């Protein structure tokens, strides 16, 4: 919901989710699902053996999602995106193929923002993606400190118009130095296309109602 009381438009949802390789992805995470605008569409599109974990700090939204959506593939967690690794571990999952996020990074405490981005980088499948939508481009420098590849887009048909950042990394990327910069320079741009995922077995945990 992008830190807003107004749900994301279908145009924004479609543009963000067009980056997903639906045929291969098995594990999804969503930060700040709100009333479930993205959540319901992810569930509609993802495989029958896939899993969606949503992390929400607002107790009212957590209750709403648990009462509204009845899907064994969905796990609604009342907690922070900074606990994404813990949420995965509880389900015995090693990584997430895609992380979708609309939480307002510019209003989050710097140390929490950095922790969320570092945790996201660590849990993301090498060929997966962190799909971020925001109202401004202010988040870009923070993303560049963590991710090697960042592709940008824009969706005007949303209240408010949204900036999109599609972040990816590779296992051979350079480590962060003490300043949070990469040894090989800033993040680079690449042609926009969904990254293919490579795996030989499903990572589905036991069924749960979240």
pLDDT per residue as tens digits for the range 42-72: 999 999 999 999 999 999 999 999 999 999 9
pLDDT at 209: 39
Cα 205 to Cα 109: distance, rounded to the nearest angstrom: 33
In 136-159, which positions are buried (b, 16+ CB within 10 angstroms) versus exposed (e)? eeebbebbbbbbbbbbeeebeebe
pLDDT at 4: 53
> Which residues contact residue 103 at a Cβ distance below 8 angstroms, ignoring those fewer than 6 apart?
3, 31, 32, 81, 116
H-helix or E-strand containing 62?
helix 59-68
pTM for the full predicted model: 0.81
pLDDT at 6: 81
- Residue 137 phi/psi, 5-degree rounding, is -95, 10
- Tell me the per-residue pLDDT of 16-33, one tens digit each, with 9 for 90 and over: 999 999 999 999 999 999
* Mean pLDDT computed over 36-46: 98
Indicate the fold that domain 10-168 takes in CATH: Rossmann fold (3.40.50)
By DSSP bridging, strand 74-78 and strand 96-101 are: unpaired
Token pair belonging to 57 = 């700090």
Cα 16 to Cα 133: distance, rounded to the nearest angstrom: 8
* Mean pLDDT computed over 93-108: 97
Residue boundaries of the structural domains of the chain: 10-168
Name the pLDDT band for 201 (thresholds 50, 70, 90).
very low
pLDDT at 202: 37
> Which residues contact residue 56 at a Cβ distance below 8 angstroms, ignoring those fewer than 6 apart?
32, 33, 34, 62, 65, 76, 77, 78, 79
pLDDT at 5: 63
The yes-or-no verdict on residue 123 having pLDDT over 60 is yes
The yes-or-no verdict on residue 128 having pLDDT over 60 is yes
pLDDT at 206: 40
Number of Cα atoms under 13 Å in the Cβ half of residue 77: 23
DSSP of 78-141:
ES-GGGHHHHHHHTT---EEEEEE---GGGS-HHHHHHHHHHHHHHEEEEEEEEEEESSSTTHH
- Residue 84 phi/psi, 5-degree rounding, is -60, -40
- Tell me the per-residue pLDDT of 141-184, one tens digit each, with 9 for 90 and over: 999 999 999 999 999 999 999 999 999 986 444 333 333 333 34
């Amino acid at each position: 919901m992008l830190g807003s009381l107004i749900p994301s438009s279908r145009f924004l949802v479609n543009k963000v989710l067009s980056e997903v390789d639906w045929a291969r992805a098995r594990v999804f995470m969503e930060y700040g699902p709100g009333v479930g605008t993205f959540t319901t569409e992810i569930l509609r599109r993802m495989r029958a053996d896939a899993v969606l974990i949503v992390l929400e700090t607002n107790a009212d939204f957590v209750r709403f999602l648990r009462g509204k959506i009845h899907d064994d593939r969905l796990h609604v967690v009342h907690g922070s995106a900074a606990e994404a690794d813990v949420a995965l571990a509880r389900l015995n999952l090693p990584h997430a193929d895609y992380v979708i996020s609309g939480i307002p990074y510019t209003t989050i405490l710097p140390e929490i923002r950095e922790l969320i981005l570092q945790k996201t980088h660590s849990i993301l499948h090498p060929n997966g993606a962190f799909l971020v939508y925001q109202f401004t481009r202010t988040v870009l420098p923070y993303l560049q400190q963590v991710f090697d590849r960042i592709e940008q887009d824009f969706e005007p048909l949303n209240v408010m118009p949204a900036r999109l950042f599609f972040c990816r990394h590779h296992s051979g990327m350079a480590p962060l130095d003490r300043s949070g910069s990469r040894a090989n320079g800033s993040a680079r741009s690449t042609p926009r296309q969904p990254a293919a995922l490579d795996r030989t077995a499903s990572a589905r945990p036991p069924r749960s109602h979240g």
